[in-house]
């Protein structure tokens, strides 16, 4: 039986990308959280055993994410080619940061030297920043290339890192102070701000309808489960409700889980391609040309 011919709109409209699967998403999911964790571990004074646990967890997260994306490549040993484009590729810069980060992190884990712990935190931030720029450099995906995606990716990586550190500290013997709890609320609020700014930017600039529908369907669950509820748990801990460590641990897990859901949604579900656009509709014979069209796109605000 002959297949029905596809309509022009089906051929030129944005489509969900299929090149980056869950393994690519896992690199952003785990790597960003690991980078944020290493940074906050370097900035916050905690027990030596907890410092070691945080460094180890951060390195495992980053290494696990890179391993996932390595297995995504059809010929994994071709991954060495990533080191050839440091002047133009943020993926190359991410790889070089990782190349320095792992030995520094291992030395920090073994020695707990403050300078090495701090350097591992700085490298963790550099790794997180490189990942944010990798996503924004993919110009064919409007939901990724928007400049506000960079701030959102950094904000969620830092929030996830703070959430992981809260989970680690909850196992310690020292009580979690009000300053640390207040900082968790700040991280939650900052991510919520950049999330709203990112959505508003996509709507204002115009974006594929499919991407906007996915993000709109995700937004309410993301705000409730990853911002309102963990902030409420932290406030309860600040108020002196019994079981402070349990409350902080649960809040940290929600902060992490929300960020991971966000990045999976961006990389896999909201990643619609550019599609084709016509600067004007052609006409046969004389007469003015028709208006510009972008099939499958939401019109930019004010147009």
Reported confidence tier of residue 40, pLDDT bands at 50, 70, 90: very high
Would you state the pLDDT for residue 283?
Answer: 66
The answer on pLDDT for 172 being more than 90 is: no
Q: Which of 73-87, 100-114, 117-131, 158-172 has the lowest mean pLDDT?
A: 73-87
The residues near 6 (Cβ < 8 Å, ≥ 6 apart) are none
- Residues 42 and 119: their CA atoms lie apart, in Å, by 8
- The rounded mean pLDDT for the chain is 87
DSSP codes, 222-253:
HHIIIIIHHHHHHHHHHTT-S-HHHHHHHHHH
Residue 15, pLDDT score: 82
Indicate if the pLDDT at residue 24 is higher than 70: yes
Of the chain, the percentage scoring pLDDT greater than 70 comes to 83
Give, for 118, the enclosing helix (H) or strand (E): helix 114-136
> Looking at the predicted structure, is the pLDDT value of residue 63 above 60?
yes
Q: Cβ neighbours of residue 101 under 8 Å, at least 6 residues apart?
A: 38, 59, 62, 120, 123, 124, 127
Dihedral over Cα of 142, 218, 7, 283: its sign? negative
Q: Look up residue 266 and give its DSSP letter.
A: I
Lowest-confidence pick of 113-127, 159-173, 182-196: 159-173
Q: Determine which of 76-85, 127-136, 202-211 has the lowest per-residue pLDDT on average.
A: 76-85
The stretch 199-209 carries a mean pLDDT of 89
Rounded mean pLDDT of 267-285? 76
281 bridge partner residues = 290
Angle, in degrees to the nearest 10, between helices 114-136 and 148-169: 140
DSSP-derived secondary structure letter, 102: H
Confidence (pLDDT) at 16: 82
pLDDT of residue 301: 57
Residue 11 is predicted with a pLDDT of 53
Q: Given pLDDT bands bounded at 50, 70 and 90, which one contains residue 173? A: confident
- Grade residue 1 by pLDDT with cuts at 50, 70 and 90: very low
**CA atoms of 90 and 144, how far apart (whole Å):** 14
CATH superfamily for 20-269 is Formate dehydrogenase/DMSO reductase domain (1.20.1630.10)
Q: pTM here? A: 0.88
Residue 275: pLDDT above 80? no
Better-scored residue on pLDDT, 85 or 181:
181
**What pLDDT does 171 receive?**
85
Q: Is the pLDDT of residue 259 over 90?
A: yes
* C-alpha–C-alpha distance, residues 256 and 29, integer Å: 9
Residue 303, token pair as written in the block: 């147009």
Mean pLDDT of 214-219: 94
Domain ranges within the chain, ordered by starting residue:
20-269
pLDDT at 88 over 50: yes
Nearest-angstrom CA–CA distance, 233 and 227? 10
Tokens matching residue 286: 């004389």
> Does residue 278 contact residue 292 with C-beta atoms inside 8 Å?
yes
* Angle formed at CA 124 by CA 119 and CA 129, multiple of 5 degrees: 125
């Amino acid at each position: 039986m002959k297949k029905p011919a596809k309509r022009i709109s089906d051929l030129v409209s944005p489509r969900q990308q299929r090149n980056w699967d869950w393994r690519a998403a896992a690199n952003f999911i785990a790597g960003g959280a690991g980078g944020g964790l290493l940074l906050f571990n370097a900035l916050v004074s905690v027990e030596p055993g907890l410092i070691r646990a945080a460094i180890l967890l951060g390195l495992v997260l980053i290494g696990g994410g890179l391993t996932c994306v390595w297995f995504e490549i059809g010929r994994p040993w071709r991954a060495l080619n990533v080191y050839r484009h440091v002047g133009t590729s943020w993926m190359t810069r991410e790889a070089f940061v990782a190349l320095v980060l792992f030995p520094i992190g291992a030395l920090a884990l073994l020695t707990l030297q403050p300078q090495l712990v701090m350097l591992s935190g700085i490298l963790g931030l550099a790794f997180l920043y490189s990942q944010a720029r990798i996503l924004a450099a993919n110009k064919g995906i409007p939901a990724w290339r928007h400049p506000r995606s960079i701030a959102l990716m950094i904000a969620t990586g830092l929030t996830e890192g703070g959430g992981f550190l809260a989970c680690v500290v909850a196992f310690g013997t020292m009580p979690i102070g009000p300053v640390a709890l207040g900082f968790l609320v700040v991280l939650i609020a900052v991510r919520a701000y950049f999330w709203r700014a990112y959505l508003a930017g996509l709507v204002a600039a115009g974006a594929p309808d499919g991407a906007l529908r996915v993000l709109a369907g995700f937004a309410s669950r993301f705000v409730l489960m990853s911002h309102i509820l963990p902030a409420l748990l932290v406030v309860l801990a600040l108020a002196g409700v019994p079981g402070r460590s349990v409350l902080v641990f649960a809040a940290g897990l929600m902060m992490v889980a929300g960020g991971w859901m966000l990045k999976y949604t961006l990389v896999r579900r909201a990643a619609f391609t550019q599609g084709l656009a016509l600067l004007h509709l052609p006409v046969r014979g004389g007469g003015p040309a028709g208006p510009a069209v972008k099939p499958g796109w939401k019109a930019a605000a004010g147009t």
